């Protein structure tokens, strides 16, 4: 067999005889494409995430799902072992690492660029050791400030997400004046802590934290007015995928759309974010967002040079 070898668990979700490819050299952050918005695939190795919780009961099924996203074209795979959904139970760093480390190791070995979605500095450190390249801290440094030293020491890119409180309290912390200005100002305060710890500006990726300490209305306001966040001068990551405000938008006969019914709306937000120059989107359904990114990238080229007639 040439470059492809059959192995269980890694082809399309429906395929009984999936495909695994030869390991590739580990991907590097510096080699990510810079001419389009990147697509970060979500891999929650948790029993209780709101959309894909419990989908991956063993490391093997999680690895298979991660590889499917990687082979479908995801630029980054974001691996998390603790649900961030409102009211979710806390997970110890030990349990979190037991969930994510084998998955990260396998995906890195296959050549994927991996980020680790964690609020624990010890898990972030262990994940970096296992080959992860990016720290994705949804707490915005509020749970374990030592994340800042870790990012400074390792030089790893750090996703600074806006959130108030924790998973239990965040939904009651939604008082803002102007939500876009306030979120930018709060992020600037944390950004300054990162600078003080020695983190370089180019390591920082800003995330508005859609669905974290925001009402549905505030999520839409933030999406509409990202200018104050963009003015901070960092890469922007947008994480709207399957979130509740999309379910509310797509309500039919008084019933909000289920998480799995929100992928078309997610892809629409990807197209809008890409047209605005977002660095990356964090999504469950990689294929539809890759297509949306391609549309936005094509539209933004200086000249549309096609001479063929299409219908």
Report the interface residues with ligand PMM, using CB under 6 A. 42, 44, 49-51, 80, 84-85, 117, 136, 138, 159, 161, 207, 209-210, 237, 239, 241, 282
Going 231 to 232 to 233 to 237, the CA torsion angle's sign is negative
CB of 50 to ligand PMM, least distance (A): 5
Residue 136 vs 270, nearer CB to ligand PMM: 136
Residue 53 vs 277, nearer CB to ligand PMM: 53
Which residue(s) pair with 78 in the sheet? 42, 115
Neighbours of 276 (CB within 10 A): 15
CB of 238 to ligand PMM, least distance (A): 8
CB of 184 to ligand PMM, least distance (A): 16
Residue 96 vs 117, nearer CB to ligand PMM: 117
The runs of H, that is alpha helices, within 40-172 are 59-72, 93-109, 121-129, 147-154
DSSP states along 74-101: -SEEEEESS--STTPPP--HHHHHHHHH
DSSP 3-state of 135: strand
Residue 67 vs 281, nearer CB to ligand PMM: 281
Beta strands 235-238 and 204-207 are parallel
Phi, psi of 180 (to 5 degrees): -65, -45
CB of 193 to ligand PMM, least distance (A): 18
Q: What is the set of active-site residues?
A: 243, 282
CB of 156 to ligand PMM, least distance (A): 14
- The gap from C-alpha 273 to its chain's centroid, in whole angstroms, comes to 14
CB of 224 to ligand PMM, least distance (A): 17
For residue 164, what are the contacts with CB-CB under 8 A and spacing of at least 6?
Answer: 170, 173, 186, 212, 213
The runs of H, that is alpha helices, within the chain are 59-72, 93-109, 121-129, 147-154, 179-197, 216-224, 227-230, 244-249, 263-275, 286-300
- The gap from C-alpha 163 to its chain's centroid, in whole angstroms, comes to 15
Residue 20 vs 205, nearer CB to ligand PMM: 205
Residue 50 vs 71, nearer CB to ligand PMM: 50
Closest CA relative to residue 161, chosen from 176, 177, 147, 175: 147
């Amino acid at each position: 067999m040439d470059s492809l070898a059959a192995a269980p668990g890694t082809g399309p979700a429906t395929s009984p005889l999936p495909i695994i490819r030869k390991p590739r050299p580990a991907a590097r952050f510096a080699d990510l494409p810079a001419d389009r918005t990147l697509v970060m695939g979500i891999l929650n190795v948790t029993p209780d995430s709101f959309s894909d919780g419990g989908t991956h009961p063993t490391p093997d099924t999680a690895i298979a799902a991660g590889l499917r996203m990687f082979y479908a074209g995801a630029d980054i795979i974001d691996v998390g072992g603790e649900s961030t959904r409102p009211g979710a139970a806390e997970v110890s760093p030990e349990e979190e690492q037991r969930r994510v480390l084998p998955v990260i190791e396998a995906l890195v070995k296959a050549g994927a660029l991996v980020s680790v979605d964690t609020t624990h500095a010890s898990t972030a450190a262990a994940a970096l050791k296992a080959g992860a390249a990016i720290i994705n801290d949804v707490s915005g440094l509020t749970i374990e400030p030592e994340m800042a030293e870790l990012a400074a020491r390792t030089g790893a890119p750090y996703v600074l997400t806006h959130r108030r409180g924790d998973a239990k309290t965040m939904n009651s912390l939604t008082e803002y004046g102007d939500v876009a200005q306030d979120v930018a100002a709060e992020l600037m305060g944390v950004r300054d802590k990162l600078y003080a710890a020695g983190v370089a500006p180019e390591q920082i990726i800003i995330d508005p934290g859609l669905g974290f300490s925001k009402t549905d209305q505030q999520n839409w306001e933030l999406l509409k007015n990202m200018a104050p966040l963009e003015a901070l001068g960092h890469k922007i990551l947008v994480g709207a995928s399957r979130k509740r405000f999309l379910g509310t938008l797509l309500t039919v006969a008084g019933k909000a759309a289920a998480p799995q019914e929100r992928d078309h709306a997610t892809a629409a937000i990807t197209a809008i974010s890409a047209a605005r120059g977002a660095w990356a989107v964090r999504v469950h359904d990689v294929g539809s967002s890759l297509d949306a990114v391609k549309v936005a990238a094509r539209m933004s080229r200086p000249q549309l040079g096609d001479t063929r007639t299409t219908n």
